[in-house]
Each structure stands twice: as structure tokens, then as C-alpha cells.
Structure 1
Amino acid sequence: MEFRGLRRTFGTTVALDGLDLTVAPGELIALLGPSGCGKTTALRCVAGFETPDQGAVLLDGEDITRVPANRRDAGMVFQSYSLFPNLNARDNVAFGMRVRKVPTARRHARAAELLELVGLPSHGDRYPHQLSGGQQQRVALARALALEPRVLLLDEPLSALDAKVRVTLREEIRRLQLSLGITTIFVTHDQEEALSVADHVAVLREGRLEQSGPPAEIYDRPATPFVAEFVGTMNHLPGRLSGDLVEVAGQRLPVHGDRPGTPEVDVLVRPETVLVTPGEDGDALIVTSSFRGASVRLLLRLGDGTEIVADLPGHDAARFALGGRANVRLVERPVLVAARTPAAAAEAVSA
């Protein structure tokens, strides 16, 4: 599947501004970005619910940009479950097959097969109001798969569910996608969701592609400050450029990516790349400590007043007391820098 120079406007609002993106066959790609970045509009252009002003959508090499939605061979799952309240789960799954006049016995057999696939083999006779939110979304997923589409489109399908159900269902979606080998586009604004289920993540900003790559690359090697801040938590530390290096927190580190035109910069540093050791004569004060089970998050204040967030293994929590002192160093690895923003220089920004 391919997006070629997609542009879509709504009045004076530009939803897509020349989007170029390729999705490999059988791949699950997550479109990630803040509200209004164009990710749902891109999905709707694939589904046929929106027609781009410019550009093209290709599926298996075929230009489907102006093919009617009912002829695109795409299955879609929405944020709202959109089940028919007067139909039971089996008939909801079989609805598309009924529209296509598939014989009754065949569509019932297919619906039963799909309900088993999504873990609801005994729920076929239940109506939507008799199902939990997670179960309703499983039925919606089975319905989208009923006609064996060439591409599966998921528009924030988990956002209406509670946290535990979301984790379980996203793992089920990934398992199903891998077993069926179906090309899938998953729209979400949840970074953890995108990183955990996708083969590739495409980060959108103001209708354009900011960066695309495997989840580990997006997280560990963000191409721009925007990607770095949106995906994960990021410290902003005051630094000063000196050639290909930046001076930050008493260290000189290599710079990755573009450099602003001024020597005074913000240095972007992940909390897990902050090394902390307790020490009575340490240069940092432990301001807060948040235990998170597998990890502990410390907020420390350096001697110059700069605050920095560090993530350490949870078993280290007892080593760091509030009000205590600690030594802080940064892992020696290339860092991103951005133009200095006074408000960000003394605080960590969470995406």
C-alpha cells in the first residue's frame, strides 16, 4: 500500500499536506501523532470515506483513490464499536456477507469461525448490550475480517476501553494480524500502543510525515525534536554547542541531527540515559521519587537549579531517599538539540 503526495483540506484547514508513505504487504503500521495531525484523514482516504484533493492511494499497485468505498476490499474498525443493537454477535459479524448475498449456512459458519478466532466462540447469540466493551470491539474486529479484506483499517479501536482491557486486546489484535498476514494500518495517539503492536511507526505532524521506521528506531533514534518529545518522556537540559559537540551538565556529548543557528540550545535526554548514584557529596538533590514497580522515577535538582528526570530499576528505590544527595551523569551517546526555550530549560516534558 502506498500514499503518494496526499493532500486534503477542509476549508482553510490542511489535514494532509503532501503525505508520502509506503506500507509493505502483511505489515502492521501505526500512524501516530497528536490530534489534528491527519492520521484519521489518511485512514479515511484509504477506506474511501474521504477523497484527497491531490495525490493517490495505491493498494497492491492499483490506484484506488476514486474507487467507491464498497469496492475497495478494506475492513474497518472504528473507535466506537458501531454494532447493530438489534442483531446478535453472530449476525453482526455476518452482516457484510448477508449484503453480498452469501448463502445463510456459509455465512453462519464463517461468523462462528471468526468469533472463535477472536476468542468469543460461545457469544454468538448475545446482543451488544450483553457484551462488555472489549467483547464488542472483538465482534467489530471479526466483522471487519469477515469478507477477507486486502487491508485492515483500525481507527483508534482501543481508546474507549479501560487500561487493562486495552493491553489485552492490542495483544490479541497483533496475534490475529500476524496469523492472518493481513496488511494493517492502526491509527492511535497513544505512543505505548503504537510501539508495542507495530512493525513500523509513522509519526505525523500537521499533515506531513515527520519520521517512519521500526519502533526501536523511532524511540532510540528520533529524527527530530518533535518525534523525540512526542514518543516517550524527554528531559530538556540547557547546553552550549561547540562544533560537533554540546556541553551539557558538565559533559561534552556528540550531537545527532540538525543544529539550531545559535550556540545556546536545549539538549534532549531520555530519563533512562541518566545515570544516578547515591553520594553524600553529590551534585544533585533528590526532589521526588515515584515508585512504578519495575522502575523508579527520580526528579533531581542539579547545582545550577536545572531539574532532571531519571528512570532507574525498581529495586534501586531504597537507595535514594527524598532530600538526599546523588551524583548524576549522562550516558555518552549522541543527543538531539533544539532551539532554547526558556520554559523548557528547567523541566522535563512528558509526551
Structure 2
Amino acid sequence: MTVTTTEKATAEKAASVEFRGLRRQFGTTTALDGLDLAVQPGEFLALLGPSGCGKTTALRMLAGFEHPDSGEVLVDGEDVTRVPAHRRDAGMVFQSYSLFPHLDAVGNVAFGLRMRGVRTTERRTRATELLELVGLADKGRRFPHQLSGGQQQRIALARALALRPRVLLLDEPLSALDAKVRLTLREEIRRLQQELGITTLFVTHDQEEALSLADRVAVMHAGRLEQCAAPAELYGRPATAFVAEFVGTMSRIPGRFTDGLVEVLGRRLPVDGPPPSAADVDVLVRPEAVGVRADAGSGARVAATAFLGAATRVTVRLADGTEVKADLPTHEAAALGAGTEVSVSLPDRPVLVADRGR
């Protein structure tokens, strides 16, 4: 695909973004509790977390739709905290599309340009250019009710890009779509972002979506930033127990911390990260790090298996009732049916721990 004038103009304007000490209270609810976060020009950053963690509030503050009780929002080093939304130079795509039903696709994409007084010929040219960019060059005369959900979302994306914003904001834009369309559009959004080089913030509660799309993922919880890192680091070296359990699957196995090591499943292993504050701890392990083998008389049994294709997830119930998940090659798991007595092992490497029950 050739790079259009719209793409060149957008890439040249990629901006840095910074949140400094953002705080926002809604009644007795704290939406943001001192958020500090910096986004580099051209970076794709995902804000990930459960409902109510503050990720959408942060995005709306960047767009200018919400204002903090304290703290600053900076774009390219300029404080825009009190700048009106229409002067923020940000394009936003909502979950609900928000297309105008009485306008066709070209009219919807060109709407913001018309409001800015761009000449008819120029705005139609730019709208047509953007429709081609999002793969809908042949749908320009269609109205929203004549388009699928995925196509409508592409129109909304093209409309957000039409004004050549310095920052693109995506607020759970895929959550209303079915799984197949969501996957396709996810790939399209990433392709477009890379081609345009536009600074993008993407809000989602879907960990797979965040890990597959973003250069970095900022995990939020209760209005605070838990960790911001590249997807591989976030998954492999979570900074907190919350991140470890929210991103991917994690099992908790009771252990005991003494003399700088944690005793778990009959082994003494070093701790990954700061030492715990108590002796009784939970050891957090990913299913791919757990080994399982048949072992009569061990006291642990296979509770369930789930076929995942090349791998099978085996859930083992230990003698104390703790359940541990292990992802094994399917051909190995075939011999471990429900009720099989097994032993569970961990690799000889540092493990993440958390205070018991926290």
C-alpha cells in the first residue's frame, strides 16, 4: 500500500503524552489516585484493567471530556489540562461507533472537516483516501444501517483520522463485535497504527487484546498504575501479584519463606523480586512452568483436563485441596485422565510470591 498524504501528515505530528499525578474523585469513588504515565511519540500503549480501574477516565482526560481534581495532562510537553476538547488535536473512537445515521460513509468521515470549514473538494478527497486506507473504498455511498458492525467501526476510525490528530484514542472499540470480526479488526488497527506512526492509547479489559496489539501495556487497578511494560516483560516478570493474576493464568501454591528462600512442593527456591513481609506466602506460577507426571500414592490427583489444541490444560488438586493448572503437550496429557494420581513440580528458578491470601 502506498503512503498517502494523510498518512505522512499524521506521522509527522506524532506526539508525546504524559499524565502527572492525575487524581479524580466521583463522590466517594476514587477513579484516579495519582496516575503518572508517559507515552512516547508514535507508541501504541494499551491501558488494561478491570471495570472501574480508571483507564477510561484517564483517556477521557486526555481527550478533554473530563478534568482532573489535581494533576496535569501534557501533550508534547504542553500543559493541556484545561484546554477544551475541540482544541486538543486528538481523535477518539468510541465503543458505540456514534456514526450519523443520515450521512453516508463519506459524509461521516468528512464531518469534522466540514465543521472546520475545509472546502468540499478537499474533504471529499481526504475522506475517500481514508476509506481506502481502512479497506472500505467501495462503501463510500453506504449509510450506517447498510454496513456491518465491523465496517461501521472502520468508518469511525477513518473519521477520527480525518482531522490528522496528534494522538488517537480508542475506548474499547472492539468489545461490541463478535470474536472473528474483533480479531480481524484488531489486526487492521495495529497495521494502520504502524503505517501512520500515530501515538495511540487503547483502553481495554481484554488481556489478549492488549498483549497482541500494544508496544507497552499499562495495567491499572483501583485508580493506580500497577506496572507499565512491554507485553513479554509484563507476562514473564509481573511486578505485583495483581498483575501476575490479571495478565494470563496463574496458580497460587502455599509456601513458606525462611532464610531467603521459599519452600514449596518439597523444594527451596529463590524469590523473584522483593522478599515477602510474612513467612506464610503464596507462590504464583504460570501453567507452562508446572510439570506433572503420574505418581501413584502422591495424594494429588488430576481434577480436570481441557483440550487447547497442541497443549492440554491439566488441573491438579493437591492433597491440601489447592488446585494447580499445568499446560502440557496434548500427547503427554492423554495418559493423565481425571482421577489419575500425579506429582507436581516446578523448575529450578526464582518464583514470584505474595503474602498469603493477598
TM-score by length of 2: 0.92
Alignment partner, residue 32 of structure 1: 48
Q: Which amino acid aligns with 1:79?
A: Q
Deviation at residue 281 of structure 1 after TM alignment: 6.0
Deviation at residue 259 of structure 1 after TM alignment: 3.6
Aligned runs of 1:154-233 on 2, under 5 Å?
Answer: 154-233=170-249
Q: Which amino acid aligns with 1:321?
A: G
Alignment partner, residue 2 of structure 1: 18
Distance 1:205 1:334 in 2: 25
Distance 1:112 1:279 in 2: 66
Q: Deviations over 1:137-188 (max 9, x none)?
A: 1110010001110000000111111111111111110110000000000001
Q: Which amino acid aligns with 1:248?
A: V
Question: Which of 63-72 and 286-295 deviates more?
Answer: 286-295
Distance 1:23 1:116 in 2: 29
Distance 2:222 2:255 in 1: 28
Q: Which amino acid aligns with 1:150?
A: R
Q: Is the 8 A contact 2:25 2:31 kept in 1?
A: yes
2:135 counterpart of 1:119: yes
Aligned runs of 1:329-348 on 2, under 5 Å?
Answer: 329-341=345-357
Q: Is the 8 A contact 1:97 1:147 kept in 2?
A: yes
Aligned runs of 1:294-305 on 2, under 5 Å?
Answer: 294-305=310-321
Q: Which runs of 5+ in 2 are unaligned?
A: 1-16
3-state SS of paired residue (2:34): strand
Q: Is the 8 A contact 1:291 1:317 kept in 2?
A: no
Identity of matched residues, %: 69
3-state SS of paired residue (1:98): helix
Q: CA RMSD in A?
A: 1.5
Distance 1:335 1:163 in 2: 34
Distance 1:96 1:256 in 2: 51
The structure-2 alpha-carbon separation of the partners of 1:163 and 1:315, relative to structure 1 and needing over 3 Å to count, comes to: farther
Which of the residues 117, 139, 143 maps onto 1:101?
Answer: 117
Q: Is the 8 A contact 2:257 2:276 kept in 1?
A: no
2:81 counterpart of 1:65: yes
2:149 counterpart of 1:150: no
Distance 2:197 2:126 in 1: 18
Q: Which amino acid aligns with 2:160?
A: A
Alignment partner, residue 70 of structure 2: 54
Which of the residues 251, 268, 271 maps onto 1:235?
Answer: 251
Q: Is the 8 A contact 2:314 2:333 kept in 1?
A: no
3-state SS of paired residue (1:319): coil
Which of the residues 232, 249, 253 maps onto 2:265?
Answer: 249
Q: Is the 8 A contact 1:224 1:257 kept in 2?
A: no
Distance 1:303 1:218 in 2: 32
Deviation at residue 279 of structure 1 after TM alignment: 4.8
Distance 1:152 1:294 in 2: 37
2:163 counterpart of 1:136: no
Question: Which of 268-277 and 18-27 deviates more?
Answer: 268-277
3-state SS of paired residue (1:153): strand
Deviation at residue 315 of structure 1 after TM alignment: 4.1
Runs of 4+ in 1 over 4 A off after TM superposition: 279-283
3-state SS of paired residue (1:169): helix
Alignment partner, residue 349 of structure 1: none
Distance 2:332 2:189 in 1: 35
Deviation at residue 118 of structure 1 after TM alignment: 0.8
